[in-house]
Structure 1
Amino acid sequence: MIDPNKVGSKIASYRKDLALTQDDLANRLNVTRQALSKWETGLSLPSIEGIVSLCQLFKVPVEDLLCLNETSKIEESNLFLNHSRDYVVNQICKGAVEINIPDTLYLFSPIERLQILKAIKEHKITCNLSQLRVKLTTSEVKYVFNSLPKGGRKP
């Protein structure tokens, strides 16, 4: 998955390496400075045409601009440092990041919590269910534990 924050940092870094302002680069790409600012802050990603233009201008391969060959370390002590929330949640749900879910669940929005709980329910990730249960809302308990065998244990 592409992390918009990392891509944005790359775009800003390459722009600065060429001594261009946001206005300069935006003009070269025929986009607004506000659109470029959103890319650099990770709020959005460039279109395919924008990515191609950026790669040509910066003289870098697409894989480099989109950080596709980079591994990113997500630290449990600061999950969202240099990463978008969506990227972090997806990495957790894929099991690519090991965290203590009961201890960190409070950091997530209700929708993000549901994504994580779905991954647990579908056995994509595991955690201590007895520790988790006390951290959940009533509806979250019903969602997770109604599908598990009696006693709340996985088969």
Structure 2
Amino acid sequence: MNQEKIGGFIAEVRKEKEMTQAELGARLGVTNKTISRWENGNYMPDISLMQSLCEELEISINEFLSGERISDEDFRKKADSNIISSLNREKLIRREKRASDFFGGAGTGILLSALYSPDSIRRTVVSVIGIAMICIGWYCRAKLDRYIIDKSEN
């Protein structure tokens, strides 16, 4: 999915319908600035708004995700492409979440085990490793959050 292409398509269809950003926003329950952000390709509409947006613009979800009008012959091919793109995005999100959970959980476990280390040198080394793993987990979570927000916030 190309955010800029989808945004340009939203603007194009909205103008064809002779609607202002404020009018479209009012119909969807969002501000005209939100519509502007979509059209500029800065943000994607929230998934809960996609169907309403498509109904207002009288386009299919498939056309929306493709960022262009689709002929009947190309409809199935574009649908397959959009499904694969969505599945790949979901796969990436799950992988990042697993990494975040692993590093955060393992780091916490290691840090707690440092309390039972027999000497101060081991305790220090194990504590540093635990803290590093927790930080990696936080980094993975922040990266995941940025990806989700950048790709789907309205």
- Where on the TM-score scale, by shorter chain, does this alignment land: which range? 0.3 to 0.5
The structure with the larger Rg is: 2
**Higher-helix-fraction structure:** 2
Give the TM-score of the pair, scaled to structure 1: 0.42
Give the TM-score of the pair, scaled to structure 2: 0.42
RCO comparison, higher one (Cα < 8 Å, 6+): 2
